Amino acid sequence: MSATAGPALAVGEVLGDGSTARSRGAARWRSARPWLVVLGVALVGALVLALPSPPTSTTPGAPDNPGDRGARAAARILERQGVEVRHVTTTRAAVSAAAGGGTVLVVGDQWLSAAQVDALADLDNDLVLVDAGWALTSLAPDLVATGQDAPRTTRQASCADPDAAAAGAITAAGGYEDVGGSAVVCFPSSPGAGDGAYVVVEQDGRRVAALSDLEPLTNAALAQDGNAALVLRALGRSDRVVWYVPSLDDVGVVPDGASGTSITDLVPWVRPVLAWLALVLVVTIVWRARRLGAVVAEPLPVVVRSAETTRGRGRLYRRARAHGHAGAALRAGTAARVAHRLGLPRSADAPTLIDALVRATGRDARDVETLLYGPPPTDDPGLLRLADDLHHLESEVHRP
């Protein structure tokens, strides 16, 4: 049995589709390249998320914020004096940390709910409220915010509180007023005023102090006047400070006071990972989406003659009894054609066109004006007369 030998195969050549190992590898690389890019972006994002978070923040009044509106300077001074500073951002963490004793500092109340304020009211710790007028009113109804529009100025103590007397003067804005007469009001907005930027009240065996302005606590103003003396004495009365700065994602506490647990507390990486995956998805969509190319002129499936279009529009005008629109179209067409014959530009105004027609035809200017710019026809006979008159006018015009 004999066999016919086929042609010798070149190196890298295969039978069938005529492809080579190199071409197949290039095709696989092209198909896998988008997924490799996505994988690389995801790996970079995972690496960024795995890096330790910076030790500073930009939250106003936070003890880890070194900026002008931060309070890192006050926190560091307290720590050097032997005071333990515990920074928390949730009510649950604040209640849990307060169980170990010490003073609870609350900076701002814009993110606090009534349930969260009630949880703070149930604490036995001394409280210091800074820029938290609503929370203070809930804790002590006799204290009301009255000087929110008072400007930030240097104020004298003018009270018997030892901490305020040691400070002498502070730089603050706003104020509180005691309508019940049970609180010590210091640093009035003006001499003899009933309000004050700093109030102290004894409540159920604990001391509640409130400062109407964050400014004395900030890094930028701590060294001014007696700001440092007041802040350090108010916060340094115990050897421990729970520094509570409420945050937007605070879930609060359950009604019975027990600690609540959110999904972000159990797996804190869920939110940043989801945000990163959403960003990767958006980038992939923008990258792989179909781009709109240049406008391509396509032939019309049906060619409609101009005469048919004109007759169709005329039928529409007739059906709608739009004699005025039909007359305006006839006048506009006639004006454009005679202007072109007379060598006038398209932007020529009505008086120029009328004067040129008068010189070309010898007609009266008023008749020409009435014919081109007169009242619209109101019926079919009037429209026919207008069409005939325009035709005669146009026939009288010759190119100069």
- Class for domain 72-255+265-271, per CATH? alpha beta
pLDDT for position 54: 61
Higher pLDDT, 146 or 71: 71
> Residue 234's pLDDT band (boundaries 50, 70, 90)?
very high
Q: Provide mean pLDDT across the span 81-99.
A: 91
CB 69 within 8 A of CB 60: yes
Q: Evaluate if residue 199 carries a pLDDT over 60.
A: yes
Query: pLDDT (tens digit, 9 = 90+) per residue, 133-142?
Result: 888 888 888 8
Q: Provide mean pLDDT across the span 69-88.
A: 93
Q: What is the mean pLDDT of the chain?
A: 82
CB 118 within 8 A of CB 255: no
Q: Which of 153, 147, 141, 164 is nearest to 212 (CA)?
A: 147
Least confident of 49-58, 63-72, 75-84, 199-208: 49-58
d(CA 210, CA 128): 6
pLDDT for position 19: 52
d(CA 138, CA 82): 32
Q: Residue 361: left (phi > 0), alpha (psi -120 to 50), or beta?
A: alpha
Domain ranges of the chain: 72-255+265-271, 306-396
Query: pLDDT (tens digit, 9 = 90+) per residue, 169-183?
Result: 999 988 898 888 889
CB 356 within 8 A of CB 324: no
DSSP-derived secondary structure letter, 239: S
pLDDT for position 51: 64
d(CA 201, CA 143): 9
> Residue 1's pLDDT band (boundaries 50, 70, 90)?
very low
Q: Evaluate if residue 289 carries a pLDDT over 60.
A: yes
Query: pLDDT (tens digit, 9 = 90+) per residue, 38-59?
Result: 888 888 877 776 666 566 778 8
Query: In the chain, pLDDT over 90 holds for what percent of residues?
Result: 25
Q: Provide mean pLDDT across the span 27-31.
A: 78
Q: CA 368 from chain center: how many Å?
A: 62
Query: pLDDT (tens digit, 9 = 90+) per residue, 112-124?
Result: 888 888 888 889 9
pTM over 0.75: no
Helices 270-288/21-50 angle, 10° precision: 150
